[in-house]
Structure 1
């Protein structure tokens, strides 16, 4: 939050009030550090849905200030306090808010739509169309039979699930009570705004969860740091529930989701190898082009995401209060009486004993939150499976038409997706650096995309080899599942000892006063 500084204009005071000005500063600091609300009705919250649209319409806040404030209501307790910087990318923040708050509902709705679509289409189209006497018992034979007979239903299920998921992502109304400054603090009424600002620490004291929407500008905004300080001070280590969510996760998750959807659609639309229009070389070429095009944006976004994580690590490692800025100092304190920095730093000293202790707390607590929430791959694995749901939707049609045989496709989703993700993510991390030449930067992304495409084709080849060698369907399926599990386990072990380790606390820093680390919420 970036509010106006507390106090009256300098032109409203005479020289005789210079002494009382220090008293006014003391009064403001004492009140804010006490974490009490100025008036009971000042403590307000709104629904997550209203807060999301307030972010979307943030450029029109001054015009809609009364309307936005009317969408909040007095409360005794706030479920989530949303802390963020208004100086970062609004597009990234909006994407992150939608994915975090509406993403699970969108995936559930899309899955239900895909299941219903696959069920009704399978019932309407009747039997599989396999001719009597045709006895393909190998894995490769069953794969081609299902591929040939269920392709229309698979494509329809994918598209229908995608449509419903997108609509739900945009229109779902989460009812979680949250605090967002633009809605819960009046932005144009001076008296109401002042009451809200001096009660900010009280808002944090009454919040169960603090959600930090982190971007590159967050640690440089003084009021954002004040919010973290107030929350950590007002909650014991056992009560602290801190959630740190990089806003770049939003567009990245959307890009990966759409990339998986378009990639599997491309594979389903390509001619099958062995047909008149589907020679092996033709399929390889078309799969390479279609897969690279579909995965281009997600992998480019993943490289950008890893660069952002590097920036966040550097900010936490070198965090200093002196580097944070506030509006009054950057504007030269024109016509203002009290300085935000003086108020905030005195509150922090009151709470933590010294600014250095607070800096140490930020370096340990926030970095621990990032480590536990982002996980080993800097991208939550649960999100990875969620983003790959379009593959599951596509395979539902063949699984419903021939449940036993369709199990091969489900196994492919369970084991193949992590393998492809780990291969692509590892290369994206290694090649995350921004190239000086846009063409070289594009080549880096292309290398990552080609690695994912070739790993997929390698899995198809493995299935064919096992099918030819073992001859029976279930033996081939078991061998394929075991092979993919071993490959996935090997890649996981390589990542465990690799350079892309999860963000760790600075080993030279210890929690202030040897406190028990706070509870960190998972993504």
Structure 2
């Protein structure tokens, strides 16, 4: 939703903003009808009052752990700047999980910079170890260099990389301009609230992209649906839709990935017991996957429920904050209903209420479901979760580097990059497929646990093959030529890559995002 009142107990009360002009005369039916008509005409014309076109930097919304995203916090629109265009328009439901929205936005805007800093920190940790600034770990083996000096394993790339990711996630300031209602509109100024409401279509038209923070209550909010439908009808391309659970799950999966890679650098390997290392790695990964699979199954069920609701959507089934208050202010005076105003605007913009409902039931729902089911967890996201494997391989490569064995160093680097860029994306695709296949709710907690375990069991052969394909060349590394050492693991992963092509994919529906539901003749400019 676009706005909410100063009172923290109510969500997005845009209705009070309409009383900013002529509130004392709202009981006059004739005046109310004239005001409503002018408001609708202004909204349909997609004009924007100059002082309303404001934007902020994402880090301003992240301040104080996302205080601006929490309903219990009072915000004022003093940190924004007047602008001519907006890069991202944030669409969200105020009753959603505020912490989920905060972490999701943090990952979306700071994740790439955090990953770059994390890779640099991992290399820094390795460099400091090789220079003798950090101690090593023997792991049950005694190595010596050419001069007889003791050599130890590095255990610093993995923790340095994790720490660098955390610092980058918190400290980075993305240079984008976004429209966030609570910081771009002063909640204490009812006139600005009113002007922001009637300027919403124009703000959307001047926004480069729409970022939808989706949660299960999102489809029931008329303002949220109207924002998405209006943006799609403007032929600006598909929106970016992300569930609010993506942020917490991404951070949790990344942390669990670090834990799963820890055995590769910490488990004693006296006697080159690669089977023990492989078993510990697979076991840690499987244990960490249980909560992730459970959350992902619930997410796919929520998307399926949303699709069923939107396929039969009627505006009468949606709600606005003013409807729950009986369209009465706290002092007992009536207020203009948001829903009536939106419906009147929809009639002018989309042709009729029925045309709007049909557009939402078909094109809008198709795009929304496609984005949520098939575009949320992309290849780059899987690669980011696989970077701990690369950092762990950096630590292991410290031993051959100290021996002066460049071939083994290159081999370990190729193993790490193959894990991050190929293995994790392939395993992620198959795990998402099996999770979606077994998404239905079980009849009991035991049935639920069995379905979660079944997803892990179906994905386990692919993970076991990947770990085995990595460990097999290591046992024969001394017998292979340098090119074979470098390419053994990537070549053994080709069957997994071919199987990746067999993962069912849904047709791309992005081209439908620009279709218009009805002819929209240009409106004359109307002054409010």
Q: Is the 8 A contact 1:313 1:503 kept in 2?
A: no
Q: 1:405: how far off? A: 2.8
Q: Pick closer, same or farther for the CA change 1:421–1:20 going to 2, 3 Å.
A: closer
Q: Distance in 2 between matches of 1:212 and 1:483?
A: 40
Residue 251 of structure 1 pairs with residue 258 of structure 2? no
Farther-moved stretch of structure 1 (346-355 vs 425-434): 425-434
1:322 aligns to 2:285 (yes or no) = no
Q: Which has the higher helix share?
A: 1
Kept after mapping to 1: 8 A contact 2:351/2:518? no
2:183 matched to which residue of 1? 183
Q: Which of 54, 57, 62 is the aligned partner of 1:44?
A: 54
Aligned equivalent of 2:266, options 269, 280, 289? 269
Q: Does residue 481 in structure 1 map to residue 481 in structure 2?
A: no
Task: Report 1:133-172 matches (<5 A).
Answer: 152-153=153-154, 155-172=155-172
Partner Cα separation in structure 2 for residue 469 and residue 392 of structure 1: 21
- Note closer, same or farther for the CA distance 1:333–1:513 as it changes in structure 2 (3 Å cut): closer
* Residue 184 to residue 408, structure 1, CA distance change in 2 (3 Å): closer
1:492 aligned to 2:498? no
Decide which of 430, 433, 444 is 2:440's aligned counterpart. 433
Q: 1:169 offset after TM fit, Å? A: 0.8
CA distance 1:274–1:315, shift in 2 (3 Å): farther
Equivalent residue for 2:284? Answer: 290
Shift of residue 284, structure 1, vs aligned partner? 6.6
SS in 1 for 2:492: helix
Name the Cα RMSD after superposition: 3.7
- Where do 1:325-344 residues align within 5 Å? 325-334=319-328, 335-344=333-342
Mapped to 1, the partners of 2:23 and 2:52 lie a distance apart of 29
Alignment of 1:75-474 (within 5 A): 75-124=83-132, 129=143, 152-153=153-154, 155-233=155-233, 235=234, 237=235, 239-240=236-237, 242-272=239-269, 274=271, 280=275, 286-287=280-281, 289-334=283-328, 335-367=333-365, 369-370=367-368, 373=371, 376=374, 379-399=377-397, 401=401, 402=406, 403-406=409-412, 407-449=414-456, 455-463=462-470, 471-473=479-481, 474=483
**CA 1:455–1:505 in 2, change beyond 3 Å: closer, same or farther?**
closer
Structure 1: give runs of 5+ residues left out of the alignment.
Answer: 134-147, 516-523
Cα distance in 2, alignment partners of residues 411 and 279 from structure 1: 19
| C-alpha spacing 1:365/1:393, structure 2 compared with 1 (3 Å) | farther
- If asked which structure has higher relative contact order (CA below 8 Å, sep 6+), I would say 1
Give the structure 1 partner of residue 29 of structure 2: 18
TM-score (norm 1): 0.80
1:125-183 alpha-carbon deviations (Å, 9 max, x no partner): 899945679xxxxxxxxxxxxxx977x42x31110110111122122222311111111
d(CA) in 2 for partners of 1:369, 1:55? 31
Q: CA deviation at 1:477?
A: 5.4
When normalised by structure 2's length, the TM-score is 0.80
Number of matched pairs: 484
Tell whether the 8 Å contact from 2:69 to 2:98 is kept in structure 1 after alignment. Answer: no
